[in-house]
Amino acid sequence: MEQRVVRWIPPVLYTVVLAGGFYHAAVAAGEFGGARLAVFAAGLLALFALEAPGPDRAPAARLPAGPLLTVRVVLFAAVAAVDGSGVSRALFVLVPFTAYLAFGRRAALAWAAGCAGLLLTGLSVLAPGWWGRPAYVSDVLMFGLALALALALAGSVVRERAARAWLEESYERLARYAERVAELAEAEERARVAGEIHDGLGRHLADLGLQLEKAEVFHGLEPEASARALANARRSAGRALAEVRGSVSVLREVRPFPLVRSLTELVRYLGDDRLVVELTVTGDESGHDAGTLTTLYRAAQEALAGARRHGRVTRVEVRLALDGPAARLTVTDNGRGIARGSEPGRGIRGMRERVALLGGRVDVLGGSGGVAVTVTVPRRSPAGAPSASAVSAASGASAVTGWATG
């Protein structure tokens, strides 16, 4: 709107004034013609040149706003001085209009007051006692109304300019935010996929290698142990294949993760005559999203694998609570515990990274009686963000859990 208004209002006004001047010269022969008419036409042609369209917009595009406005006022005065019709007084309406666009509201008001004062001074000099003539009074009132309308129009143009600039800046900020969100989402997806590979397929492949190695060692010594290791290896290979298929299905179509069923199968697979694993579940998993359920399962995998690998464990208790504002998984073993001052392993660090993405936390306590790993993940809203009450519950979750004594 601003460009259309600024571009077309001055030429239209110049055209009206030019037509009015020539019409007056035609109907009032002798009063307005000759040199005066030539100066009148030359002044308007110069004004037209200032508004010349085209890529250069010359010379107006190359002149600063202040000198350009001064040139226009000089030309307006020259045209008005030789105009016998009086129509050219309307040109001064453009002064506060262009001043508003170039310098703001205060400058426009000052220029409008100057134009009104110039008109009144000219009438007082050229037409003494003009205030007693209705025609002159009507002209002054109409000129004042035109100045007010010009100021109002310029104000709306300036407001539109500011609004458009604000919108453009907002679009730029939004584009930057969208790029940042895309980068974060990509980084989060990479971290999730890496965690899936490490905690899922990687874990089963490591177990597969261990069982095959065990089968090779016991092949000629204990055929039964070797056969049992081979059976476990086949089971690990099957679970690895199932993990791959499940991950592909999740990537193709988002669907709930069967946490309780998966934990039950995991406990059944790990338990044998040397390791007792008990699972206790409270609550319903349907109230939690797939990301939370998958993360809890991976955490259980890591905690159980760590207990088997490092803890000399004979008993593990897995407790899953899904009925509160936050889901809580606790894995407690009766192994040798954690040495004081020891740093968490790569598995615990990866677990904490995955849980932190969901706004949760991981607490690890270890002593001579075993290790307790507690994972707390707040219940998430449909949009994927944790609710306020769930965040409070997660941030205030205690690291004190039950202990199994060896």
Q: What is the mean predicted confidence (pLDDT) over 255-264?
A: 80
**DSSP-derived secondary structure for 121-150:** HHHHHHSTTGGG-HHHHHHHHHHHHHHHHH
**pLDDT digit string, tens, across residues 174-193:** 878 777 776 776 676 666 66
**pLDDT digit string, tens, across residues 111-123:** 888 888 888 887 7
Q: What confidence score (pLDDT) does residue 126 get? A: 76
Comparing 280 with 86, the larger pLDDT belongs to 280
**pLDDT digit string, tens, across residues 123-163:** 788 788 888 888 878 888 888 888 888 888 888 888 888 88
Structural domains present in the chain: 2-126 (no CATH), 261-406 (3.30.565.10)
Rounded Cα distance, 372 and 334, in Å: 9
- Confidence category of residue 201, pLDDT binned at 50, 70, 90: low
Closest Cα to residue 256, out of 295, 299, 294, 297?
Answer: 294
**pLDDT digit string, tens, across residues 362-384:** 998 877 678 899 999 998 754 45
Rounded Cα distance, 79 and 39, in Å: 7
**pLDDT digit string, tens, across residues 5-44:** 567 788 888 888 888 888 877 777 556 667 788 888 888 8
- 364: which 2 tokens? 């690890």
Q: What confidence score (pLDDT) does residue 329 get? A: 95
Strand partners, 317: 278, 332
- 295: which 2 tokens? 């993360």
Threshold 0.75, pTM exceeds = no
Percent of the chain whose pLDDT exceeds 90: 7
Angle ∠(235,241,242) on CA atoms, nearest 5: 90
Phi, psi of 33, deg, nearest 5? -175, -170
pLDDT exceeds 70 at position 231: yes
